[in-house]
């Protein structure tokens, strides 16, 4: 991640930018740090619509914070209703394209009617702001409709990625104690149907608290419908009014909980509330993506992840953007599907992951070169640090050396982007997330919390609260304090390693805990290990991530077996599929290594750090003083050779 080249913003881009030049960025940042209450209060008043103004901009009692205390707001109203009295009423909100090629064009007025109608359906079924809903759907317009309808009524939602298995869905329903599940018969992915209703039925066998399941028809396949519990979306909507006023909600009313992997193996529900989160998502759309009213914007993520929440649904719609929503895979029917979409809809801003970029690089330049990509004016990267080689390819082949790249650092927990270039201001260094956004005070520190010198690696922490930050872990405030605030007291511990160069640029180096980043998806080692040991052949398992040029990290599992005669080749394939069924296909181990024993401390803790060294450097050079039996490591390292 060392890179000396610098790409200054093009003068033509600077001239039209929302934040024009480094002096403008520095003045904005300085004001946000010197007078934060005034800074955020003015933006909240200018950029969002409130039913009642707040009494305090924020109250900070570390590690708990409240933003816009006493204010009344509604996210759905801000994303839809307030645009209807403007020129945006008949502006396209979403160009949607299904993987088979079907398409829809939905204006803000039409989206408002769809959301209001479905909100009335939920209201008629007796759901209120005291309820919680699980949304398990493909990338179809009804997914953001369901989210915005819940937000309209104050129903906290949790979107579960459609690639998750029934088991993963079940744990999230149970943890949230959800009474409502919104799903679909299925969706399309790589020309195959993903049967979501079947997975939901399997999960719901152990979720007796769910009283209602609403099913959207997408694929038309036959599915089981349980009388008294399951209903078709389209049937419930027949004759329903499209008039449903948005409920004024406290600024701190829960908007959504999004489950992400933790080092304990139990997924944790990251809780975001309404006012502060919405301001963060809205402002970063304008600062980082330099959004213009005429832009066509495409975030090629899945709504099931936080990127889709903030930069497909809430941020773009609050900012009045026109977005592209695509259901399927980038290689279906061929590896130029994305470039066809860019050319077809004249996309101006493309936001995707380094994993996707590396996969596209492997296919060669022929695919993008077949299409007119001249509409693009800005490119974005999200999910993990982007290596300089991939950055250069993205810049040269896709952006034709005229589109700035905004390499964004943020997390599920942060709610919105915290470190990224302002494209009309920041000189770019390939591989660096560059500088903090207004109000964000990051620092690279050692294990005692003291700042490290320029160029040295350390832990990335955030010193001050920001509006879109998580409020707690759902149902577990103690875990929230311990995991994020105890490591460096008074500062948010990101769990990422970083360094800051002599020019002040931040370089994010990846996770420091036992969480892998596979294709932009955070995945706990413990979660995969828990799945493996459920298999009757497995006695013990340890999982680490190893570098992979396509997925960023690949899952590598070390497995010890129970007594018996096992066909290792057959069993390895069986275990991969077992994990895919338990968690999801994206969690399938790339490699399974059978071992007689695993390296452990004297207290019995598996030393994954040593396994990580073996799969990445093929040697062990770290501290082994706490290791119980060094011969275990030497045998594993010898097998590597």
Domains of the chain plus CATH, in order, are 35-82+90-276 (3.40.50.12780), 518-640 (3.30.300.30)
Cis bond leading into 63, ω under 30°? Answer: yes
Structure tokens at 425: 């201001």
Give pLDDT, residue 625: 45
Residue 572's CB is within 10 A of a number of other CB atoms, namely 17
pLDDT category of residue 403 using cuts at 50, 70 and 90: very high
Q: Whose structure tokens read 């919680």?
A: 132
Q: Any idea what the Cα angle at residue 513 is, between residues 520 and 585, rounded to 5°?
A: 35
β pairing state of 492-500 and 506-511: antiparallel
pLDDT category of residue 406 using cuts at 50, 70 and 90: very high
Average pLDDT over residues 14-43: 98
R_g (Cα) of the chain, nearest Å: 24
What is each CA distance from 457 to 93, 460, 461, 506, 510, in whole angstroms? 43, 9, 13, 11, 11
β pairing state of 296-299 and 103-107: unpaired
d(CA 123, CA 115): 12
Give pLDDT, residue 603: 46
pLDDT category of residue 627 using cuts at 50, 70 and 90: low
Average pLDDT over residues 86-109: 98
β pairing state of 296-299 and 322-326: parallel
Give pLDDT, residue 440: 98
d(CA 398, CA 391): 10
Angle between helices 568-582 and 525-532 (to 10 degrees): 120
pTM here?
A: 0.87
pLDDT category of residue 637 using cuts at 50, 70 and 90: confident
Q: Whose structure tokens read 């080249």?
A: 5
Query: Is residue 131's pLDDT more than 90?
Result: yes
Give pLDDT, residue 1: 47
Q: Which residue has the higher pLDDT, 457 or 326?
A: 326
Q: Which residue has the higher pLDDT, 168 or 381?
A: 381
Q: What are phi and psi of 101, to 5 degrees?
A: 115, -5
- Strand partners of residue 507: 499
Give pLDDT, residue 626: 46
Give pLDDT, residue 163: 86
DSSP 8-state code for residue 7: B
């Amino acid at each position: 991640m060392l890179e000396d080249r610098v790409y200054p913003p093009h003068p033509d881009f600077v001239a039209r930018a929302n934040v024009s030049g480094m002096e403008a960025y520095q003045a904005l940042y300085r004001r946000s740090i010197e007078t934060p209450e005034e800074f955020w209060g003015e933006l909240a008043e200018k950029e969002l619509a409130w039913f009642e103004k707040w009494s305090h901009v924020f109250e900070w009692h570390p590690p708990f914070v409240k933003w816009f205390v006493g204010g009344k707001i509604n996210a759905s109203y801000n994303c839809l209703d307030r645009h209807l009295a403007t020129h945006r009423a008949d502006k396209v909100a979403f160009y949607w394209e299904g993987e088979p090629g079907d398409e829809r064009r939905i204006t803000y007025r039409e989206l408002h009617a769809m959301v209001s109608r479905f909100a009335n359906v939920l209201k008629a079924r007796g759901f209120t702001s005291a309820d919680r809903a699980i949304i398990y759907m493909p990338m179809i317009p009804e997914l953001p409709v369901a989210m915005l309808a819940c937000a309209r009524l104050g129903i906290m939602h949790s979107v579960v990625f459609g690639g998750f298995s029934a088991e993963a869905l079940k744990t999230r329903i149970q943890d949230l104690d959800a009474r409502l599940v919104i799903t679909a018969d299925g969706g399309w992915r790589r020309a195959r149907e993903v049967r979501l209703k079947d997975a939901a039925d399997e999960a719901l066998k152990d979720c007796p608290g769910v009283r209602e399941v609403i099913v959207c028809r997408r694929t038309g396949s036959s599915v089981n419908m349980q009388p008294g519990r399951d209903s078709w979306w389209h049937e419930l909507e027949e004759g329903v009014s499209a008039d449903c006023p948005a409920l004024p909600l406290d600024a701190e009313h829960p908007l959504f909980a999004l489950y992400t992997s933790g080092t304990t193996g139990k997924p944790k529900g990251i809780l975001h509330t309404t006012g502060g989160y919405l301001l963060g998502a809205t402002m970063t759309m304008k600062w980082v993506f330099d959004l213009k009213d005429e832009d066509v914007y495409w975030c090629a993520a899945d709504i099931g992840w936080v990127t889709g929440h903030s930069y497909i649904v809430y941020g773009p719609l609050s900012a009045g953007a026109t977005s592209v929503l695509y259901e399927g895979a980038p290689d279906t029917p061929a590896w130029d599907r994305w470039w066809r979409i860019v050319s077809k809809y004249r996309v101006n801003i493309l936001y995707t992951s380094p994993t996707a970029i590396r996969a596209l690089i492997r296919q060669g330049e022929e695919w993008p070169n077949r299409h007119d990509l001249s509409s693009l004016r800005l490119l974005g990267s999200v999910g993990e640090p982007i290596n300089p080689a991939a950055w250069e390819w993205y810049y040269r082949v896709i952006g034709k050396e005229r589109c700035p790249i905004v390499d964004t650092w943020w997390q599920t927990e942060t709610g919105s982007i915290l470190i990224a270039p302002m494209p009309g201001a920041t000189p770019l260094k390939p591989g660096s997330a560059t500088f903090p956004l207004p109000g964000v005070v990051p620092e690279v520190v050692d294990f005692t919390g003291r700042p490290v010198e320029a160029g040295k690696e350390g832990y990335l922490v955030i010193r001050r609260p920001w509006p879109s930050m998580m409020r707690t872990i759902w149902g577990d405030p103690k875990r929230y304090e311990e995991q994020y605030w105890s490591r460096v007291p008074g500062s948010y511990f990101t769990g990422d390693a970083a360094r800051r160069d002599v020019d002040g640029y931040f370089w994010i180096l990846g996770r420091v805990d036992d969480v892998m980043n596979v294709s932009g998806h955070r995945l706990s080692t413990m979660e995969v290990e828990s799945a493996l040991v459920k298999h009757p052949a497995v006695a013990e398992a340890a999982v680490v991530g190893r570098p992979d040029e396509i997925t960023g990290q690949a899952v590598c599992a070390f497995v010890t077996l129970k007594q018996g005669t096992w066909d290792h080749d057959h069993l390895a394939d069986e275990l991969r599929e077992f994990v895919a069924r338990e968690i999801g296909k994206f969690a399938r181990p790339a490699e399974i290594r059978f071992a007689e024993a695993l390296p452990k401390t004297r207290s019995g803790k598996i030393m994954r750090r040593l396994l990580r060294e073996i799969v990445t450097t093929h040697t062990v050079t770290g501290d082994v003083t706490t290791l119980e039996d060094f011969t275990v490591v030497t045998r594993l390292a010898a097998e590597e050779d």
